[in-house]
Amino acid sequence: MKGFVHIRIDDRLIHGQVATRWSTGLKVNRIMVIDDAVAANDNEKAILRMAAPAGVNTSILPLEKAVANIRNGNYDGQRVMLIVKSPLTLVKMLEMGVQLLPVNIGNMSNRPGTTQYKKSVSMTPEEKAAVDRLLAAGIKVTAQMVPDDPETGIENFF
């Protein structure tokens, strides 16, 4: 994943913490969101683009196109933060041959059918299995809301 500096799971996608704390601290020049439904919704894309900090480009793409762009080296020389809503997307990327960086889980809201593992992290059984799959593949997965929080392995909350 040349050009990528951070992968975050956050069901809010681009929002205040990402726009101010994470993107600034990581000195990113692009925020990439991979989500098929959001990529197909012009209103949601416009809102996310407005939430991005000035001077930071956005790519809001469906999974297939994003993986093709990554494979083609479209982000070489950039500093890209990747955001997805669910670990299921990252497992699909892994299955498509993308070598993932360590993953940070920021926020996965409490929803029907989820188990709360940490104040800001609730997962369905399928999402938990996806995180387990990432861990089994040797990918470090942490839970960290903001950069100042301690970087704690997600497995410590299971």
**Above pLDDT 70, what percent of the chain?**
100
The catalytic site residues sit at: 15
CA-to-CA distance for 92 and 126, rounded, in angstroms? 13
Total number of domains in the chain: 1
CATH code of the domain containing 120: 3.40.35.10
Confidence label for 1 from pLDDT (cuts 50, 70 and 90): confident
Residue 33: domain span: 4-156
SS (H, E, C) 70-116: HHCCCCCCCCEEEEECCHHHHHHHHHCCCCCCCEEEEEECCCCCCEE
Q: What is the pLDDT of residue 153?
A: 95
What's the pTM value of the predicted model, to 2 decimals? 0.94
Structure-token pair, residue 127: 């999402």
Give the strands of the sheet with 57-61, arranged side by side.
57-61, 30-34, 80-84, 4-10, 103-107, 141-143, 152-153
Q: What is the pLDDT of residue 103?
A: 98
Q: What is the pLDDT of residues 98-145, one digit of tens each?
A: 999 999 999 999 999 999 999 999 999 999 999 999 999 999 999 998
